[in-house]
Amino acid sequence: MPDALLSFTRALPSTLEQGLIYALMAMGVMITYLILDFPDLTVDGSFPLGGAVSSSLVIAGVNPVLALVIATLCGMAAGLLTGLIHVKLKVRALFSGIIMMTALYSVNLRITGGSSLLSIPRTAVTLFRNNTLVSALPQGVQVLIIAAFLVLLIKIILDLLLKTRYGLLLRAVGDNATVVTGLARDKGNVVISGLVIANGLVALCGAVLCQQQRLFDLSMGTGAMVLALASVIIGVNLFKRVEWIKSTTKAVIGALVYKACYSLAIALGLKPGDMKLVTAVLFLAILSTWLFGKKGAQRHA
């Protein structure tokens, strides 16, 4: 056990970095599941989509920040298509996501030229390497500072957005759709815009992760939705009685806790190949606790 704790402590900086990066995806999934109540499986496709676009552009010599913007726009386009399939073609939410997730597998392969792996050269300029910003930051914590800045920026933007009239409409769609209709707004258009924002954030997460790891893997999207949703549920459960903490903050903290649990499991001797099973079991336990808690609250009410 002492060896495991020592190993976990040594991995803590990288755990925080990964947790902050995945918090971007958690905030996107928070919009679909927590606010829209929309089971969007597009996430498993838009996450690697962002990574594929970002990696390909960086390898081609494109500015890394511009690569992130383009990757985010591609993710937003994926969310738009999912929304149109659901709203305009009347396909169920779950099936809409599955259709887009399947289609994006081929799209991602096209973007990478048919390769399932892309390695970004060490000499390439990324957000975390070989640029003037990184050289100006304290040695050893560059990734942590940049990831924290990105998460804080997105969190502030989302918090401000959710306070606007549009944010209230977004919340109303998940809670009481008749309110949206009563305000002379199209519920379908609000759902589509929510999916656009959510998948844009998911793609941004994939883009940032690939620039940080300097590697794109086509299978990186497998289980992405489960990971993000587990992070959201962890954050919500931890602070369900603390109303002054915003949902975005809960999603960020949930992602950090989730990655900490992941690192602890590795430190205890589990192999990386076992982690998908561990993720599934952990998610089932978290989801069961969350659902039983909601039923208990409803019975009490």
pLDDT of residue 241: 80
- CA–CA gap between residue 127 and residue 58 (Å, rounded): 10
- Per-residue pLDDT reduced to its tens digit, 227-243: 898 899 889 888 888 88
Q: Give the residue, 83 or 276, on which the prediction is more confident.
A: 83
The number of CA neighbours under 13 Å toward the Cβ of 256 is 17
- Give the range with max mean pLDDT: 6-15, 124-133, 171-180, 265-274: 124-133
The confidence score (pLDDT) of residue 2 equals 64
293 or 240, which is more confident? 240
Cβ-based neighbour number of residue 188 at 10 Å: 17
The yes-or-no verdict on residue 13 having pLDDT over 90 is no
Structure tokens at 185: 């707004």
Instruction: Find the range with the poorest average confidence among 92-96, 172-176, 234-238, 268-272.
Output: 172-176
pTM of the model: 0.92
C-alpha torsion sign, points 51, 52, 54, 55: positive
Q: Is the pLDDT of residue 255 over 90?
A: yes
**How large is the average pLDDT for residues 162-187?**
74
Q: What is the mean pLDDT of residues 138-157?
A: 93
The answer, yes or no, to whether residue 179 has pLDDT greater than 70, is no
pLDDT of residue 239: 86
181 — pLDDT class (breaks 50, 70, 90): low
* Domains of the chain as residue ranges with CATH: 2-300 (1.10.3470)
| pLDDT value of position 153 | 96
Sorting pLDDT into bands at 50, 70 and 90, what band is 290?
Answer: low
Q: How confident is the model at residue 132 (pLDDT cuts 50, 70, 90)?
A: confident
* Mean pLDDT across 17-30: 95
- CB 216, CB 273: distance < 8 Å: no
Residues in Cβ contact with 17 at an 8 Å cutoff, skipping those fewer than 6 apart: 143, 144, 147, 212
Candidate ranges 32-36, 184-188, 233-237, 248-252; pick with highest mean pLDDT? 248-252
The pLDDT of 99-106, averaged and rounded, is 96
Determine the average pLDDT of the residues in 22-39. 93
CB 32 within 8 A of CB 195: yes
Residue 176 has a pLDDT of 63
So what's the pLDDT on residue 3? Answer: 67
40-83, pLDDT tens digit by residue? 999 999 999 999 999 999 999 999 999 999 999 999 999 999 99
Q: What is the pLDDT of residue 28?
A: 95
- What is the percent of the chain where pLDDT is above 70? 89
| In the predicted structure, residue 173 carries a pLDDT above the cut 60 | yes
Closest CA to 158 of 28, 21, 42, 50: 28
